[in-house]
Amino acid sequence: MEQIRNYIDKNKGRFLDELFGLIRIPSISAKKDHKPEMYKAAEYIKKSLLDAGVTKAEVMETDGNPVVYAEKIIDNSKPTVLVYGHYDVMPVEPLELWKTPPFEPEVRDGKIWARGADDDKGQLFMHVKAFELMVKTQTLPCNVKFMIEGEEEIGSPNLGKFCEQHKPMLKADIILVSDTGMIAQDIPSITTGLRGLAYWEVEVTGPNRDLHSGLFGGAVANPINMLAKMISQMVDDNGRITIPGFYDDVLEVSKQERELLAKVPFNEDAYKKAIDVIELSGEKGYSTTERTGIRPTFDVCGIWGGYTGEGSKTVLPSKAFAKISCRLVPNQNHEKIAILFKEHFESMAPKGVKVEVKIHHGGQGYVCPIDLPAYKAAEKAYIESFGKRPIPVRSGGSIPIISSFENILGIKSILMGFGLESDAIHSPNEKFPLFNFYKGIETIPLFYKYFAEM
């Protein structure tokens, strides 16, 4: 432990400089014209891993953005940890809300400010540096493999196939991931559940062109009015989603587990203040922690149609669009839900409009049992670095590929996330506290140590 802290102290400035080099590459996977940046980021990671001590590193092609694979095999009789992370980031709009440019990282108030500072460049870089630390201090206790992809933020559409094609290469005993959060800097936690995701784009078409709202208004169905009506019918007054069959596979969480969940520290006033809302709302009969952890949701992520420019234009538009997503809970099948919604929403089309639903990417939920050896090893690592037993929590977020790993590779994942809720991932002014970055680098080698001992 002494040795770990010393190594970090001596190298902390360089760690940061190297991370900033990665952050400066605007590797936004949702934008097709950012392809060169994706390769640049992949090559950067390959070089970082070689510098850190892997014996083999490769930028491997997929049908989409490349995957960086690297490994250091020290002894085939020892266990193998497969580190997963992603070098792609979310779009940065609305740009005008950023206090400093998203791809020009800087340290203010003890935090790194930039897109990707936390999700996931900052967190994946902790693994590169923790690995370097173990190599340089000759404490690496087991084999390590790295698989760093560039399409996580668009649903990892090609990583499943990549895993299918490279099963022997990816053979490991556990997958180690830092792409989630912890409760607070003094309350470490390990994510034991992830929600699944289904995502759609809907298009409502009324007349074949924008019409004069005076000459036609009142007689022709307005696609925006109709889209609003359809959306409003998707969630009832109790906050329950109305898609027929939607809850069929939702496992009701036991009274015992809900009692444990109720012990997760939650300060409603602070939560509301942080996002500036007066009242919270959601599914009746569930707490905020439950609403985000163990219950599915229905959110419109974007909507557009008609005249949205300056001033007023009296138009009855031809089309209206929305991007819609549902967070799902572990036992729900995202492909089944995607079709249930599509069929239901298209069948709801009011008189005079046509409705078309396109299915975007989705993913399954995931559960990590707390009696898994890897969980026990992680727990010990946190106890040593934080001086506290970590709390097992269910996250509301989705990392669809985690359940695919289990299905395709047959390997469980352990989610050691070091982000904070206040890091504003996916939002303007994303940040990552230096404390968390260095604490991650300190905790990860301890996990390797205890995991190799199990």
Please give the residues from 246 up to 305 whose contact with its own copies meets the rule CB under 8 A.
275-283, 288, 291-292, 295-305
Written as six digits, the tokens of 368 are: 């990590």
Number of residues that bind its own copies (CB under 8 A): 100
Distance (Å, whole) CA 103 – CA 242:
41
Written as six digits, the tokens of 115 are: 């897109």
Cis peptide before 26 (omega within 30 of 0): no
Compute φ and ψ for 310, nearest 5 degrees. -70, 150
Written as six digits, the tokens of 211 are: 């019409």
Q: At closest approach, how far in Å is the CB of 345 from its own copies?
A: 13
Query: Looking at 352, 370, 388, 453, which residue binds its own copies (CB under 8 A)?
Result: 352
Q: Restricting to residues 89-148, name those near its own copies by CB under 8 A.
A: 90-91, 93-94, 97
Q: Are strands 80-86 and 174-177 parallel, antiparallel or unpaired?
A: parallel
Q: Decide: 279 and 269 in contact? Cβ < 8 Å.
A: no
Q: At closest approach, how far in Å is the CB of 303 from its own copies?
A: 5
- Among residues 260, 324, 312, 267, the alpha carbon closest in space to that of 290 is found at 260
Q: Restricting to residues 156-175, name those near its own copies by CB under 8 A.
A: none
Q: At closest approach, how far in Å is the CB of 22 from its own copies?
A: 21
Query: Looking at 10, 99, 263, 351, which residue binds its own copies (CB under 8 A)?
Result: 351
Sign of the Cα torsion 393, 454, 412, 445 reads positive
Sole window of 70-78, 182-190, 225-233, 253-261 interacting with its own copies (rule: CB under 8 A): 225-233
Q: Restricting to residues 364-403, name those near its own copies by CB under 8 A.
A: 395-398
Helix pair 434-453, 2-23: axis angle to 10 deg: 120
State yes or no: residue 154 binds its own copies (CB under 8 A).
yes
Written as six digits, the tokens of 74 are: 């020290």
Sole window of 18-26, 129-137, 164-172, 353-361 interacting with its own copies (rule: CB under 8 A): 353-361
Distance (Å, whole) CA 290 – CA 74:
43
Q: At closest approach, how far in Å is the CB of 394 from its own copies?
A: 11
Distance (Å, whole) CA 421 – CA 415:
16
Closer Cβ to its own copies, 398 or 443, answer by number: 398
Q: Restricting to residues 302-341, name those near its own copies by CB under 8 A.
A: 302-317, 320-323, 325, 327
Dihedral angle, C-alpha 209, 210, 216, 219, nearest 10 °:
70
Query: Looking at 229, 258, 336, 376, which residue binds its own copies (CB under 8 A)?
Result: 229
Q: At closest approach, how far in Å is the CB of 263 from its own copies?
A: 18
Closer Cβ to its own copies, 167 or 313, answer by number: 313
Closer Cβ to its own copies, 76 or 208, answer by number: 208
Compute φ and ψ for 403, nearest 5 degrees. -75, -30
Q: Restricting to residues 25-84, name those near its own copies by CB under 8 A.
A: 29-32
